[in-house]
Amino acid sequence: ARIDAAQQQPVEMDADTIEYNSTSGLMQADGGVRFVQGEAVLTGQSAQYNTQTKEGYVTGGVKAVKDTATLTAPEVRSYGDNHLVASGGDVVLTKDDSRLEGDLVDYYTDKDYAVVPNGGVVTMPDGTMKADYLEAFLKENRAVGKGNVHIISEARKLDATSDQAVYYGGQDGKDGKAVLTGNARAVQDGNVLTGSTLTITMDDKAMTASGRPRLVVAPQDTQETKK
Amino acid sequence: MTKKQYAVIACAVIVLAGGLYYILGGDSASSRQPVSEAGSAVTDKLSYSGSSIIEEHDGKRSWELSAETIEVDPNTKNTTLKNITGTFYRDNGGKIIVTAPQGFIDGTTRDIVLDSQVEAVAEDGATFMAPTVRFNNAEKRYYGTGGVRVTRDDTVLTGDQLESDANMEKIKVSGHAHIIQGGKAQ
């Protein structure tokens, strides 16, 4: 990642002990570490920072907070002021109404853009989307899923799968929408709609399909019992 | 003067010289420079003013301390100094100039303890401050206590205590350790 020196802000560390090698430029902090880089504050058990490459590495129940985003993980690497890579399993990134989970989350704090390359789940007010590869555009409340996409919305009684999907969380839980492409299949209130592309609008439970669409409507009584 | 008188005077000179050598002479591997100025009358304590004590190791100077007053205990060879200016030589050829109101050199280990606010400045601008600093002569390591502060370029490191190599390059601070790099100097 290119590190723009002008962008570089002070780096600060508090800990029980800090070792600093001015020749190699390496800092090692241990015990109750608080590491500040840019506007991100990371806490954990141990931390290393390379003053020459501007790369940090915090381990031990790490929590990173920047503005309204919070990232928790077993370990977090920081690259310059705006790039955090959290890994080690059980990584959770939350920001406002969005929540991203996975083994590894690659988070660009300045753009509020995160990638979950090894598969994960994004949760928005309307529901969740699981996929082999996830991208989250947190500012726009939008997420892209690729590979084995599975969308579930309890509130909308929706269960949909596809090869890829773009999920729009809308604002304040309204205007949510999902566009599923590739072997798209959606089940809502027992009705099943398939096609190569499905567009589902969450509020009014409407679905449009293209590419050999097929709709199977569940008999009325089944729908009643479902309600 | 008769032959006999000449013999007596010669014996007296030999005894005096031997006594001085015994008091000041070092017997360990590192040679210790004799104090450069003759002491005043021999009393319980030999006091030296405006002198310096030099430590060399394998023919290379490790450190030298100058002080307004130096008191050497002839039995233990412990040395007490007042208003000290010291120079510690780094492997890279640089120097660290250290000042302290008072100090103590252990006659056996030649460890140095500098006290009551020690300040050190290296030729590359690095600084180091602590109420008390001990220089372990065998390990060639500094130990600072009482609240330490190290600065180097745009890095400031503070904490309760510090341990550093003789070149002040590898530094460990423990207890409320804090480091800031970049940004305004604290």
CATH number of the domain enclosing B62: 2.60.450.10
Instruction: Verify that B93 and B159 share a domain, yes or no.
Output: yes
B117 SS3 class: coil
Q: Is residue B39 part of a domain?
A: no
Instruction: Verify that B17 and B55 share a domain, yes or no.
Output: no
For chain A, say whether B175 makes contact (Cβ under 8 Å).
yes
For chain A, say whether B173 makes contact (Cβ under 8 Å).
yes
Question: What pLDDT score does B111 carry?
Answer: 94
Q: Is residue B156 part of a domain?
A: yes
For chain A, say whether B91 makes contact (Cβ under 8 Å).
no
Instruction: Verify that B52 and B134 share a domain, yes or no.
Output: yes
Question: What pLDDT score does B3 carry?
Answer: 64
Question: What pLDDT score does A182 carry?
Answer: 95
A5 SS3 class: helix
Give the closest-approach CA distance of A23 to chain B in angstroms: 6
Question: What pLDDT score does B27 carry?
Answer: 42
Q: How far apart are CA B143 and CA B12, in angstroms?
A: 46
Residues 29-48 of A with CB under 8 A from B: 29
Q: How far apart are CA A60 and CA B38, in angstroms?
A: 62
Instruction: Verify that B20 and B91 share a domain, yes or no.
Output: no
Percent of chain B predicted with pLDDT > 70: 71
Q: Do A20 and B159 touch (CB under 8 A)?
A: no
Q: Is residue B34 part of a domain?
A: no
Question: What pLDDT score does A215 carry?
Answer: 85
Q: Do B180 and A11 touch (CB under 8 A)?
A: yes
Q: Which residues of A186-222 are buried (b: 16+ CB within 10 A; e: fewer)?
A: bbbebbebbbbbbbbbbeeeebebeeeeeeeeeeeee
Question: What pLDDT score does A221 carry?
Answer: 61
Q: Which two tokens stand for residue A149?
A: 């996409």
Mean pLDDT of B132-156: 94
Q: Which two tokens stand for residue A27?
A: 């800092």
Q: How far apart are CA A27 and CA A13, in angstroms?
A: 9
Q: Which two tokens stand for residue A161?
A: 């799968």
For chain B, say whether A68 makes contact (Cβ under 8 Å).
no
Instruction: Verify that B23 and B108 share a domain, yes or no.
Output: no
Instruction: Verify that B13 and B84 share a domain, yes or no.
Output: no
pLDDT at B13 over 50: yes
Q: Do A23 and B169 touch (CB under 8 A)?
A: yes
Is residue A129 classed exposed, middle or buried when 0-12, 13-18 and 19+ CB atoms within 10 A define those classes? buried
Q: Do B170 and A51 touch (CB under 8 A)?
A: no
Q: Is residue B134 part of a domain?
A: yes
Instruction: Verify that B52 and B101 share a domain, yes or no.
Output: yes
Mean pLDDT of B87-114: 93
Q: From the first residue on, what is the mean pLDDT of each consecutive set of 10 residues in chain A (227 residues)?
A: 48 97 94 92 96 94 95 96 94 93 96 96 90 94 95 89 91 79 91 91 78 80 51
Instruction: Verify that B20 and B58 share a domain, yes or no.
Output: no
Confidence of residue B16 (pLDDT cuts 50, 70, 90): low
Q: Is residue B33 part of a domain?
A: no
Query: How many A×B Cβ pairs under 8 Å?
Result: 72
Residues 45-84 of B with CB under 8 A from A: none
Q: Is residue B133 part of a domain?
A: yes
Q: Is residue B186 part of a domain?
A: no
Give the closest-approach CA distance of B163 to chain A in angstroms: 9
Instruction: Verify that B16 and B102 share a domain, yes or no.
Output: no
Instruction: Verify that B69 and B139 share a domain, yes or no.
Output: yes
Name chain B contacts of A15, Cβ cutoff 8 Å: 177
CA nearest B152 in A: which residue? A22
For chain A, say whether B172 makes contact (Cβ under 8 Å).
yes
Q: Which residues contact B89 (CB under 8 A, 6 or more apart)?
A: B60, B61, B62, B63, B95, B96
Looking at residue B8, what DSSP letter applies?
H
Q: Do A17 and B174 touch (CB under 8 A)?
A: yes
pLDDT at B10 over 90: no
Question: What pLDDT score does A180 carry?
Answer: 96
Question: What pLDDT score does A217 carry?
Answer: 82
Please count the structural domains in chain B: 2
Instruction: Verify that B88 and B174 share a domain, yes or no.
Output: yes
For chain A, say whether B183 makes contact (Cβ under 8 Å).
yes
Q: Do A8 and B182 touch (CB under 8 A)?
A: yes
Residue range of the domain that includes B19: 1-28
The sign of the torsion formed by the CA atoms of A202, A208, A212, A218 equals: positive
Name chain B contacts of A10, Cβ cutoff 8 Å: 180-184
Instruction: Verify that B79 and B122 share a domain, yes or no.
Output: yes
A44-53, A91-100, B39-48, B175-184: least confidently modelled range: B39-48
pLDDT tens-digit readout, B61-79: 888 999 999 999 999 999 9
Q: What is the DSSP string of A100-147?
A: EEES-EEEETTTTEEEETT-EEEEETTEEEEESEEEEEGGGTEEEEEE
Q: Is residue B126 part of a domain?
A: yes
Among partner residues A16, A21, A49, which is closest to B177 by beta-carbon distance?
A16
pLDDT at B21 over 60: no
Question: What pLDDT score does A8 carry?
Answer: 59
Q: How far apart are CA B174 and CA A86, in angstroms?
A: 28
pLDDT tens-digit readout, B23-38: 444 444 344 444 444 4
pLDDT tens-digit readout, A71-96: 999 999 999 889 999 999 999 999 98
Q: How far apart are CA A168 and CA A179, in angstroms?
A: 8
